Homo-oligomer: A and B are copies of this chain.
């Protein structure tokens, strides 16, 4: 209740408010006598002082907040990403302020506007489309931006992504080794770099393996619900597929749904490879073979990049590419 200000602390400690301010910040504390600093700190603690972020932010123009924009909070892959981000930011006393903006570009822009209005010191976007326009908003305000999970084609901002081509290579090679030759791709939205990159990765890997790369269908969203109709189209178009590589685990689940209604067995009739290794895919029936992405690591790296940008310790655009890993479970079998 009783709002305690630096002035109150200063009075109680018999010093000037500015001294209190200096005592409170670790980096300016060394300017003060050991004795004064500890006394001020003690008084502050005893009075239950905590600083008013508004006043501080107004003066310093920094908020110690980083905005994180997600397309879809219900997609489990974002949890570990978020965790990684929060962990890294937290260590520096920064706070992540998370907003999920859906997939509509207009809504995304308005969410970003709102975060900028809240004076975030930086913005981590997991929403990037391949041709991302929101970045301009941030550049115009001079706010650092890091893209995570997806990046965009113009390379105006740092990003942390995975090697989609490598992931698709792993999947195709795995199926190839199991004897599959007729392999399809259940793709994601082509507006996202992950959707486009994995499709390209798939066709490249297939071509390189000497297989026909043309059995592909792109879903409209990275969701189980969007996976279902897309999977149906894929199976209808290419009835003799013996394996499908999905661009994402949720799409693979949509495919599972279709297989179930068609009474096709996985992996007996069709092998399925997912992408992401999101939580719980080891529990589903059958446990999903998938490409593991170290999402927490992605979040950590993104936050680190952000810290660098904020402190201007590094310059220029950097892309961090993580190496994916094949996790073999029970949804793939020898042909």
Contacts and interface: CB of A to CB of B under 8 A. Distances in A.
Contacts of A253: 280, 283
A58 interface: yes
Interface residues of A, number: 41
Interface of A is mostly: mixed
Interface in A2-60: 50-55, 57-58
Contacts of A82: 73
Contacts of A51: 117
A116 interface: yes
A323 interface: no
Interface string A108-152: 000001101111000000000000000000001110000000000
Nearest to A118: B53
Contact of A141 (B1, B73, B80): B1
Contact of A117 (B53, B63, B83): B53
A182 interface: no
A79 B83 contact: no
A32 B63 CA distance: 33
Given A55-B58, A83-B100, 15 more contacts: A53-B54, A53-B117, A54-B57, A54-B119, A74-B83, A86-B99, A86-B100, A95-B97, A95-B99, A95-B118, A256-B283, A280-B280, A280-B284, A283-B285, A285-B286
Interface of A: 1, 50-55, 57-58, 63, 73-74, 76, 79-80, 82-83, 86, 95-100, 113-114, 116-119, 140-142, 253, 256, 279-280, 283-286
